Structure 1
């Protein structure tokens, strides 16, 4: 086996999601895109109205391969699966948070959800050391976006 590739099921916004993600992450690009054809419309209700939508597509985010499709409303994304972004500094955390957090009620401890329903964990490198004390863990539990300076400030308590 060469690799395991995450594959995202979208209702009908796979192309928009791919284009957005590629604009957010460095070292990213859209690869092969296969579309539903008109001939599939006669194969069943699930294909009606899908002509031109993404049947399967491949894209790279920060050097990692992903796949996606427009599959209709049969399955939805949830917080049960998320993608972790390890950031070098607060500026990088702020960048990804601003680009990816679109559902305020889903925010906690560095977790956010984007406008397409994908969950992300935006965290600093060395997270284990930053939350190594009870005071730091308590501070983390009160955060939405992680603020490194606030975690560092409670390290000695």
Structure 2
């Protein structure tokens, strides 16, 4: 397998292999492609036991990732997230539910899910991009307003907001 020019590397504190297994169980056409292990060389710097997992390379539906067991120094924040673009509500429900397993639900809002490893995901209907790019400001405003009320995005509600039907008047 040829390496991609750009490859996200995710920093974990000892859970890189566990996280990779979790993610490949969620996304189709996914697999672990390689595991590299720490050696005794540089132990005084990296602090990991020889033979322990250093890097897990994996693919999620064809996108290559690396998971590095770097240590506790760095944590994920919402400043970086991965967007999952879904065709249907069933897809939205699947990815939202699976990625939210074991996670703190208070950190889920407006289509965003923070998984149990602290990694941020945006579970989005593909149609949302065109709705929010529409030249009609009123349509964009209705969709944005409805979206801001949601945790998991509801495609039917967003479509109704876009069309201006079935909305409560305040």
Structure 2-normalised TM-score?
0.83
**How far apart are the structure 2 equivalents of 1:96 and 1:65?**
18
CA distance in 1, matches of 2:82, 2:23: 12
Question: CA offset at residue 46 of structure 1?
Answer: 4.0
2:25 is aligned to 23
Aligned positions, number: 154
**Residue in 1 that maps onto 2:65:** 66
Structure 1: tracts of 5 or more residues without a match: none
CA–CA distance in structure 1, aligned partners of residues 108 and 149 of structure 2: 11
C-alpha deviations, 1:8-30, integer Å up to 9, x for none?
A: 00001001000111110001010
Cα distance in 1 for partners of 2:4, 2:19 equals: 26
Deviation digits for residues 63-90 of structure 1 (CA, Å, limit 9, x no counterpart): 1100111111011111110000000100
Structure 2 runs not aligned, ≥5 long: 165-170
Q: Name the SS for the 2:79 alignment partner.
A: coil
Contact 1:81–1:119 (CA under 8 A) maintained in structure 2: yes
Give the CA deviation at 1:61.
Answer: 0.3
User: In the alignment, what sits opposite 2:156?
Assistant: 149
Taking only aligned residues, the RMSD between alpha carbons, in angstroms, comes to 1.8
Q: Is the 8 A contact 2:4 2:64 kept in 1?
A: no
